[in-house]
A and B are shown apart, each in its own frame.
Chain A
């Protein structure tokens, strides 16, 4: 069917071929004359040292817009991947009078927010996580201040602790707490719809078989 349609259109085009040929001849002459004019324009461009077939400004603009759109898509993907790889520097600070844990308790885990010492007036500058709002990392020194060596906590402001002021158990290996087996969470009851289920009637064949059994 499609072939017949194309064949019919082909016959039409064949019949119109003389008209098409005349139109093509007109366009050929017009194109030739316009080509002569443009030939000299391009010749002047060539001798000026410009590009003969320079891209149109509209094309450059369109290309820029499309490249920008594609570039944004490329930037979004690595940004999402790099987010968890950022380094976070956390300083362990202990104060003798406030916030000390009771005897026998582990010191505060680094990285947890200390609500007693809110980070006030400390701008977050120069860290890799620039642009990400600081969340719960207290006493973070400002950019340019050297970080204390690992294992030597210090006061806020840089004064180091004395060894005897450290809480007991500090620096010792953290005891490994055996993991409790997970308790089975109670499953929620199945939600049933208020639907009246009609009683299942046995098939006729079964009835007959039952009847046969009774007969036996």
Chain B
């Protein structure tokens, strides 16, 4: 017990004496939350729209104006002729274009179906889809106003948990989960491999310290640092970005502890595989990148090809991200999350046990 404390104390003295490590541990979560909170923004607003109005009637101007209501589209009068409309897309002058043909109002007035063209830059499929959605709604409303004879079916939406659709609400819980993964996997593996490189691990191995004490002493410091990290990220998210935290903080931290078994276990496994810090860094980077990409952190798992969806089942981070989002955004409890919790417990036990078994006090 005292040797575990000695190891933990030693690790903290080392971390706090190293300015590079300190910056890495305490400044990186702040930067990540700010960067991903502001930069990774899927909110599609103020889309630049080119307007080609060949009808030049009261009705066509009305239609165009209804596109400019709200923050959805910003109308730009194109200086490029319609024949070269694509140039505008290539030069990124606008993302969508509305083309109202000559005779538009004439057709509407005489009761014949009229068509307008809507061009969308599909490079980013996600924002293209959203732009089409906006345009569809606008045209529908326009129809209702000008052709009131039809009986419309009105859909009343109720968006739960994130009614304003703010990406930052979705991103910050994800950051909390990925930060905990990155920091614990990287720091644990690096700390053990560094000691192996320097030779201090050999010195510890000739002491009568028990294997359990050695493993706990080398993992507890990084578990504590991981908790500090996610606390910093959570504090920043709730205080600065005003993200609601609906569920139980105790439950979140409790489940984070279970998840740590997996993350620390992976760190230890990497350290037994690697001889140098560069190797450990590469392995750690590969592991975190792979788990983050297949975790649903940015792209929804449902959008992935079915084979990849099956692979994500083997990704412990996938469950943890779902848990963090569930607790923070929806106030989910143990009863709602038990499949994910079971998966994490299983991962934790399997990975930490195999890491402990492979970790040897011999060279």
A binds B: no
Interface residues, chain B, with chain A CB atoms under 8 Å away: none
Interface residues, chain A, with chain B CB atoms under 8 Å away: none
